[in-house]
Structure 1
Amino acid sequence: MRTLARTIAALCYALSITHGSTQPEEEARVGDPRSPLEHRPYASDLSPDHLPLYKIPGHIRDLNARITDLRIELDKMQPLRTPQLASSFGYHSSYLPTEEPLPSKPRWVMEFQTPFLNGPLDLVLVPAHDHRNLSEEKSYGFPKRFRIVTGPANKETIIADWTQQDFPDPGLHPVYFHSPSFTSQQPRMEVYRGQQEGDREFFALARAHMIVSNEVRKISAAKASSSFEAKPYWSTDYINHESGVLGLPLGELAECAPDLVLPMDTSVTDAPLIIEIDLGRNTHIGWIDLLPAQSPETIAVPGYGFPGSIKIDIARSLPNGQRGETSTVLKQSLFENPDNNIVHIPGLHAFGRFVRIHCNHFPIHQETAVFSMGEIVVSQQDAPLSNQRPVTLSIGGHQLESAGALLVDGHAQGRQVIDLVDWLQQLATAKQIDAELRTLQTQLEATETRWQNFITWIKGITSAAVAIAVIATIIILALSKRRQNLKLRKQISSDLHDDVGSKVAAISLASTYVKKHATEPRVRERGERIHDIAHDMHQSLRDVLWLTDKDTDTLTELVEKLSYTAQRRIPSETLELQIPSLSQLPKRTISVGTKRDILQFFREALHNASSHANASVIKVEISWVAKSLRITISDNGSGFTPTANDCQPRSVSQHHGLRNMRDRAIRLKASYDVKSAEGQGTTVSLQVPIH
């Protein structure tokens, strides 16, 4: 029963590795918003197909919990609003012929410039919308292979490198690249491959934002190596257009937070509406953000009540409380309807206390001119300056009694206004969470299907386990019989050693006696000859038993045998023996044929050195080198002159042993070398690969 249980467990584990539903190809991952080269981790890096079965129920629970957490996290983030701009789509590159393989130099280069670049840099790229089909939230022309770098070519710093793989389609979500290191160099985008249309390619961007030290900075200029200019739709100038395309930076719903809606008297509509915000003290102005309002009617009216022209002045406050110098940060400019997108106007670091916004050309709704605004945010280094500050509205010098405080209450369209940088990060992260949710849902479906398949197949597995148990029993019996045969083989070897060995020993003793006590020289010579033959027979018997003993089929046993042979055949005063530590040799199994050829080669080399070289020193080195056994035998004897023909001597009849050594080396697939010269000794080396 234990064997059966173990077999079933092994089958279950094997099934958990080799069987399972086919997992769909993983959706391309979008990089982490703060570091696009790193990926947001998914629930498990272990494929459902490779998950052990006993872990599947817990894995399903973990996936469900993770999916729930991600949905809660995603619900807290603002959804991406599909842009509906009629113009100012963004930047569009020129068209170039498709080039394969990837070129070594960029095909397009776009440089982004901003003043006062002196800190950690974030670059946010906003994909262009495919205006050919506004019903689908598809990006248009986002580049596939590109780099974002700063500094000159010889000292550039890489912020992001997507030249080795295609960048995942971000949809309409912004992509947030972050460089944590301090930089004062303007960034540039080098595009190696854009989007392909037929036999040509291009790339496009809707907007770009630069964030330095966690503060949004104005892109003063964007320079492209080439562009497709088609105003008012496509232009390099639109990459830093005041009107965004991502919607409004709004968070949680708020109670009792209406937008300011101000019907305008048609008799005074020619005069501008002046909104003045008292910041309380003179300070530098970074940005002035205008957030469109929401129509109070149920019908959606994008950019409801947004003025058609705007002028912005900043006035200083003098120590005596009087108004001082006034600087203009935005000349009278015409504005198209921004839809539900933020209008981001740079304050040019103007210094002052009073922000005066001149509004005119109000849209007509229900035959009435209407001014409406959700929120006005004046900030410096992303710190709001205008929140809850005093606001006055006036037309033609007459101050209006209106709820101007609604313009700085921190709410627009019934929601809380959030930090612009945090909002951009949320939009970038939302894409990754959505992609992770889809991947987790796919993993969950695959894991649940596999678990159901396992339950269905359990009867078949049990039947297979029983069959395997029967086969295992047969194999065990066969192994048992084999062990008995090995035991019998050892017994025969032992008996052979005891029987034949004892008889050879008796012959050796008898020949010794004859050699010692015989009076005739010829008899003594024959006795000595019989003694040598008996001694060789005894040693040959030991070698045969060693070769056929399975316990000696290891590298350690072979090295030990070679060492013993060298010490037995070479006098100690002549022998220099170097062998590796037996405990440090790897565990390798060696076949009987390999053992025999190595041993015979070794004996022949020792015989040549001891019998023919007239050497006073014979050095034997055995080492383990590069998964090979290396044997080197050298002497300081008389030497000879070998030929260059594969180590074969000139007279094969005189050097029959060298030819045998060469043949054994060929059978061993070993490298074999003989180095010798008259009067300079001989070195024989053999290197045998042992797998």
Structure 2
Amino acid sequence: MSTRLALFLLTLATFTAGAQSLRLERESFPHSPEDIEHHADRYTEPSLIPAKSVAALKQQASWLRRELSRFPPSETQTSPPRETFGYLSARHPVSIPDADFEEWIKLQLHTDLSLSIEAIALVPACYPAFSLKHHYGFPRRFKIEVFSAEAPEQAVTVVDWTQQDFPDPGLSPVIFTMPAMKVQNIILTVTRGALDGETQFFALDELMVFRAGNNIGLPSKHSLTASSSTELDTFWSLNYLVDRKQHLGKFQHAAQQTPDFIRYFPKNSEITEPPEILIDLGQSESLGRVELYAATLPELPIPALAMPTTYRIDLLNHLGEGGLIKSTTIQAPLIQKMRWHPLYSHNARYLRITTTELPQYRGRPILALGEIRVLGDEGPNRVNLAKGKSIKLTHAPSNSLGSDPRLLVDGLTNGREIVPEKQYIEQLAKRQLVENAMANVEKSLVVAQITRTQRYWTLGITAATIILFAILLWIIHLRSSKNRAVREVQKQISADLHDDISGNLGTISMITSRLQNQADPDLTEEKLREIRHLAQESFVSLKEIIWHTETGVIRISDLLEQIKRTSQSILSECRVSYDFPSEYENSIVPVATRRNITLLVKETLYNCSKYAKATTMVIRAEIIDSQLQISMRDDGCGFDPHCETSANSGSGRGLSNMEQRAKLLGAELIVQSAPNEGTCVILSTPIHHSSHA
């Protein structure tokens, strides 16, 4: 393993989450660079990663996926912001020294008293034109300080990231917890912004300040100032930093099988009396705000289309005349999944929502809401006061699925629990930590898979090399065997030259010497005829030897053509006809096989020429069931095959030689003959389909 790869694996190990060590307690982001080591120790187990196998890493990834399912998903990519994006600072040159770059935002919670807070969260800005997967302008270096009314000059540092760049949060919020303390002023100071070409700046979607689990950063009640601010229509403004509109989605958690409240009115009906929803809180409460959540209707292309467009919110001390405390009419044509409206700390027991204008779908008015939440204003009462309380609906049809008004105060919308804001933000922040761990595990898995693949390739190449080496050895063995076979044929040819040609020449020499002292003309003629036969036989044998030695690959067609030439040379005084197949088997004939076939055929032809006194010879070749069958039939005097003298006639060139050749071929030899009835010799030899001679 190279040094570079080892360093890469070590880096991955440092930031990879171990499935057995990942803890998901309530944890905030590191408050300072010094907390990084502790933070990494709590969420990773570096010593486990280098030795992890692919199977172990896949199991760990599966475990992390199950952990991710415990947290609410961010809805940014599926439902990007359509209105405000948040706060955007002025731009400064990148070349400006860090000591001269300082942008700040000051949030004064109250002008006359301090409020007890427990956490501060920063939500990265999402600018769809830039990216739906990455933040826009989250500050690289910053610090957050708080001041109380009792000690307005004494800063308490909540988080300090001015000496080192903050880890990239993506689009997930970052939350910094702190011991609960009374705070009047909060100051966010940025000393290094995000880079954009030759400039730097910073942007945030939301600054959230938590008290009793809820965000209390209301611009109507608090003062907000900044060193600079880019004001751009409805997109960027300092006030959007605490407007409670952010891209993260609704404060919902795990899904349950619970419907939303839905009422359908008759098609094309006129609503003479607007529907009213009355919630009884049980007693007079100090109210902070009311939240309306959109219902989910599968038949609508956009679920939030069913939200009422015009409605009135009334606060009442009691029912009846004189009980009205405050009334607000709201027109909201924009599509939103959640709307909230401040109630300005009014004390009231009843909240009434009158829907004066309803959306329509295919001509049918729809009254549909996922949930109505009424939040208290002070201390521990800053919770959902409407959950489970008495609710009454009037002037609405009741023959619709999911028409029970209690669904409006069950704490669920779209089958999901609406959780406190702080808990939701914490869960999204933890989700980001788990996603980072998941990304690191996937990187480690890629490295492990590459390593395994390389190992498999190494084993495969080694095995292939061994197999190739074995094949080469086998080829060498085959070539060696072939060379041995060729040498055997060469030895046999040498023997043939010695036996046939040399013997024939010796016989011719001996006969010639005898003829010198011979005066009988008949005997001389007979001896001359014998000499001619011997010379002819030697000539044919020599031609065959040359053919065997000079010809390379021989196929059946070549063999039959050679048989034809041999018969024409030997049977010069006999008429020979041939019956060969029009299409030959395209098989290669081994050297030893072709030699034995030609010698056996030649033996038959010589016997016919010398002893048969035949006038015609028919040579036929057939291929039957992978057998080459050669038959040679003459009209000569014939003989008795069972007679020993006939079989051994012709200086040893009788049937015994032919039978020995057939045995070497593994062939079947049939000799059919009788005195005065001619002779038929049939040879059937197997054809071995081979591409090598």
Deviation at 1:270, TM superposition (A): 8.2
Structure 1 residues 400 and 67, CA, compared in 2 at 3 Å: closer, same or farther?
Answer: closer
- The answer on whether the counterparts of 1:93 and 1:228 sit within 8 Å (CA) in structure 2 is yes
The residue aligned with 2:125 is: 128
Change (3 A) 1:265 1:377: farther
Residue in structure 1 matched with residue 158 of structure 2 by the alignment: 159
Q: Which residue of 2 aligns with 1:143?
A: 139
What do the CA deviations read for 1:629-663 (whole angstroms, capped 9, x no partner)? xxxxxxxxxxxxxxxxxxxxxxxxxxxxxxxxxxx
Q: Deviations over 1:14-72 (max 9, x none)?
A: x8999737338659899985243243534323496xx6xxxx25x87765554333221
Which residue number corresponds to residue 43 of structure 1? 44
Q: Is this contact kept in 2: 1:286–1:379, CA < 8 A?
A: yes
Partner SS for 1:300: coil
- Superposed CA offset, 1:281-340 (max 9, x none): 22222332211111231x5314222223444332124xxx86765333x73333353533
Distance 1:230 1:405, change over 3 A: same
Aligned counterparts of 1:378 and 1:154: Cα–Cα separation in 2: 37
**Residue of structure 2 in register with 1:288 after alignment:** 290
* Count of matched residue positions in the alignment of Structure 1 and Structure 2: 428
1:274 aligned residue: 276
Retained in 2: the 8 A contact 1:22–1:446?
A: no
Distance in 2 of aligned mates of 1:154 and 1:288: 36
Task: Give runs of aligned pairs for residues 303-452 of structure 1, distance below 5 A.
Answer: 303-317=304-318, 325-328=323-326, 331-340=328-337, 342-380=338-376, 381-394=381-394, 403-446=404-447
TM-score, normalisation: structure 1: 0.55
SS at match of 1:384: coil
Displacement of 1:403 after TM fit?
A: 3.0
Q: Matches of 1:107 and 1:251 in 2, distance apart?
A: 36
Cross-structure match for 1:209: 208
After TM superposition, the score normalised by the length of structure 2 is 0.55
> Is the Cα contact below 8 Å between 1:60 and 1:447 reproduced in 2?
yes
Q: CA deviation at 1:448?
A: 6.3
Matched-pair contact (CA < 8 Å) for 2:130–2:136: no
What is the CA distance between 1:414 and its match in structure 2?
Answer: 2.7
What secondary structure is seen at the aligned counterpart in 1 of 2:120? Answer: strand
* 1:153-182 CA-partner distances (Å, limit 9, x unpaired): 851111111112222222221221222241
Following the alignment from structure 2 to structure 1, what is the Cα–Cα distance between the partners of residues 266 and 230? 42
Give the C-alpha shift of residue 74 in structure 1.
Answer: 0.7
SS at match of 1:170: coil
Deviation track 1:552-608 (CA, whole Å, cap 9, x = no partner) reads xxxxxxxxxxxxxxxxxxxxxxxxxxxxxxxxxxxxxxxxxxxxxxxxxxxxxxxxx
- The one-letter code of the counterpart of 2:193 is G
**How far off is 1:375 after superposition?**
0.5
- C-alpha distance in 1 between matches for 2:266 and 2:11: 59
Which residue of structure 2 aligns with residue 687 of structure 1? none
Q: Is 1:228 the equivalent of 2:230?
A: yes
Answer yes or no: is the 8 Å Cα contact 2:144–2:159 preserved in 1.
Answer: yes
Work out whether residues 391 and 405 of structure 2, in 8 Å CA contact, stay in contact via their aligned partners in 1.
Answer: yes
Structure 2: distance between partners of 1:353 and 1:377: 14
Q: More deviation in 90-99 or 62-71? A: 62-71
1:391-446 per-residue CA deviation (whole Å, 9 max, x = no partner) reads 22346xx9988532221122212333333322221111111110011112323444
Counterpart residue identity of residue 116, structure 2: G
Which letter maps to 1:440? Answer: V
Equivalent residues of 1:244, 1:344 under 8 A apart: no
CA distance in 2, matches of 1:205, 1:347: 26
For the 8 Å contact 1:114–1:217, the answer to whether it is kept is no
Asked if the contact 2:291–2:340 (Cα under 8 Å) also holds between the matched residues in 1, the reply is yes
Contact 1:274 1:358 in 2 (8 A): yes
CA distance in 2, matches of 1:311, 1:103: 53
Q: 1:243 to 1:303 in 2, by over 3 A?
A: farther
Rate the CA distance shift 1:411–1:92 in 2: closer, same or farther, 3 A.
same
Find the residue that maps to 2:73 and give its secondary structure.
Answer: coil
Distance 1:204 1:29 in 2: 30
Is the Cα contact below 8 Å between 2:126 and 2:247 reproduced in 1? no
- What amino acid does structure 2 have at the position aligned with 1:130? Y
Q: In structure 2, how many angstroms separate the alpha carbons of the residues matched to 1:391 and 1:399? A: 16
User: Contact 1:243 / 1:343 at 8 angstroms: preserved in 2?
Assistant: no
User: Do the aligned partners of 1:362 and 1:370 also contact (CA within 8 Å) in 2?
Assistant: yes
- How far off its partner does 1:376 sit? 0.6
Question: How far apart are the structure 1 equivalents of 2:16 and 2:227?
Answer: 30
Report if the CA contact (8 A) 1:117-1:183 is conserved: yes
Q: Taking structure 1 as reference, are residues 399 and 263 closer, same or farther at Cα in structure 2, changes over 3 Å only? A: closer
Report if aligned partners of 1:21, 1:446 keep a CA contact under 8 Å in 2: no
Q: Is the 8 A contact 2:287 2:343 kept in 1?
A: yes
1:277 Cα deviation after fit: 0.6
Check whether the contact 2:213–2:420 (CA below 8 A) recurs between aligned residues.
no
* Aligned positions of 1:112-127 closer than 5 A: 113=109, 117-127=114-124
CA contact (8 A) 1:294 1:304 kept: no
Cα deviation for residue 449 of structure 1 reads 5.7
Amino acid at match of 2:374: V
Matched residue of 2:282: which SS? strand
State how far apart, in whole Å, the 2-side matches of 1:452 and 1:21 are: 20
1:375 and 1:408 in contact (8 A); partners too: yes
Alignment pair present for 1:76 and 2:70: yes
Look up the match of 1:88. Answer: 84
C-alpha distance 24-233 of structure 1, shift in aligned 2 (>3 A): farther
For the structure 1 residues 239 and 107, does the alpha-carbon distance in structure 2 shift closer, same or farther, using more than 3 Å as the test? closer
- For residue 36 of structure 1, give the secondary structure of its aligned residue in structure 2: coil
Quote the sequence identity (%). Answer: 24
Distance 1:356 1:230, change over 3 A: same
> What's the offset of the Cα at 1:86?
2.4
CA distance in 2, matches of 1:364, 1:84: 25
Secondary structure in 2 matching 1:348: coil
Question: Which structure 2 segments of 5+ residues have no match?
Answer: 18-23, 460-693
Letter aligned with residue 6 of structure 2 = G
Q: For the residues of structure 1 that align with 2:152 and 2:390, how far apart are their CA atoms?
A: 51
Q: Letter of the 2:308 partner, please give it.
A: P
Q: Could you tell me which residue of structure 2 aligns to residue 259 of structure 1?
A: 261
Following the alignment from structure 2 to structure 1, what is the Cα–Cα distance between the partners of residues 91 and 389? 50
Does the 8 Å contact 2:316/2:323 carry over to 1? yes
Residues 84 and 339 of structure 1 are in contact (CA less than 8 Å); yes or no, is this contact kept in structure 2? no
C-alpha spacing 1:224/1:269, structure 2 compared with 1 (3 Å): farther
The 3 A distance-change label for structure 1 pair 133 and 215 is: closer
Query: Higher Cα Rg: structure 1 or 2?
Result: 2
**Cα distance, 1:93–1:335 mapped onto 2, change above 3 Å:** farther
Give the conservation status (yes or no) of the 8 Å contact 1:278–1:355.
Answer: yes
Query: C-alpha separation between the residues in 2 aligned to 1:20 and 1:99?
Result: 37
Aligned counterpart, 1:183: 182
Q: 1:427 to 1:336 in 2, by over 3 A?
A: farther
- Specify the code of the residue in structure 2 equivalent to 1:357: I
Paired AA for residue 200 in structure 2: E
- What is the root-mean-square deviation of aligned Cα atoms in Å? 3.8
CA separation of 1:230/1:368 partners in 2, compared to 1, >3 Å: closer, same or farther?
Answer: farther
Secondary structure of 2:64 counterpart: helix
SS in 1 for 2:346: strand
Moved more, 88-97 or 114-123: 114-123
1:190 partner letter: T
How far did residue 450 of structure 1 move?
5.9
**Distance in 2, Cα, partners of 1:211 & 1:323:** 38
Structure 1 CA distance, aligned partners of 2:311 and 2:89? 31
CA distance in 1, matches of 2:85, 2:456: 55
Q: What is the CA-CA distance between 1:108 and the residue it aligns to?
A: 3.4
- CA distance, structure 1, for counterparts of residue 8 and residue 15 of structure 2: 18
Alignment of 1:572-651 (within 5 A): none
